[in-house]
Amino acid sequence: MKKTACADLSLESLPGISQIVCLDEVESTQTVGRELALEGSAEKTLVLAETQTAGRGRMGREWESARGGLYMTLLLRPESGVRFLPDLSVLSGEAVAEAVTALYGIKTRIKKPNDVYAFHPRRKKWLKISGVITESASVNSTPSWLLLGVGVNLNNDVKLDTAVSVQTLTGKTVDREEFLKEFFRTFWLRYAAWEYSSRAKS
């Protein structure tokens, strides 16, 4: 697990993040996030990797993780009950979809519970551009920590016929920091509303 400089990112450019852990190649950012959670790392720690050797999605499905994509896990410690966690996957996917549309003009839609699809105008098909995965450990039905894993096909070569990258759709290389800033701008607003609503219902 080799660290990388992550020169294009700073805490100042990513509001709400307490620390950034940048890695070159990992098995999975979820695995690293779990280790950090068990060690007691600060809430809102962000794990980023250039590539994953065993990236996975929902139900253990493999997630293709070539260089150029965005692979991250965010450590959270919400006060919401575990029964509200499925809603977090959906709102995170919505934040990804909004960022992709706002920045690149790509038409997107959510496939519940955790996938984001983009419309490929030449192929006239909806193809997967992002996936979200959540994992938690709980005490008395309240999560002691929660890992939000997000993979987005930005500039990576996508081999699967059912998936597509932003670069393929726009014809140009896009900036990772720009995407992260837009994603977190939307995500934190939705996350705060989710926490407030789920606490009110508990």
Which tens digits make up the pLDDT trace of 15-30?
899 999 999 999 999 9
Given a cut of 50, whether residue 59 has pLDDT beyond it is: no
Given a cut of 60, whether residue 1 has pLDDT beyond it is: no
Domain ranges of the chain: 19-201
DSSP H/E element including 195: helix 176-201
In the chain the first and final C-alpha atoms are separated, in Å, by 40
Q: Mind listing the pLDDT tens digit for each residue in 161-174? A: 999 999 999 999 99
Q: Which amino acid, one-letter code, is at 20?
A: I
Work out the pLDDT band at 201, boundaries 50, 70, 90: confident
Q: Over range 141-145, report the average pLDDT.
A: 76
Q: Which residues of 111-123 are buried (b: 16+ CB within 10 A; e: fewer)?
A: eeebbbbbbbeee
pLDDT of residue 40: 93
User: Per CATH, the architecture of 19-201 is what?
Assistant: 2-Layer Sandwich (3.30)
Instruction: Return the structure tokens found at 132.
Output: 């979200």
Torsions phi, psi for 42 (to 5 deg): -65, 145
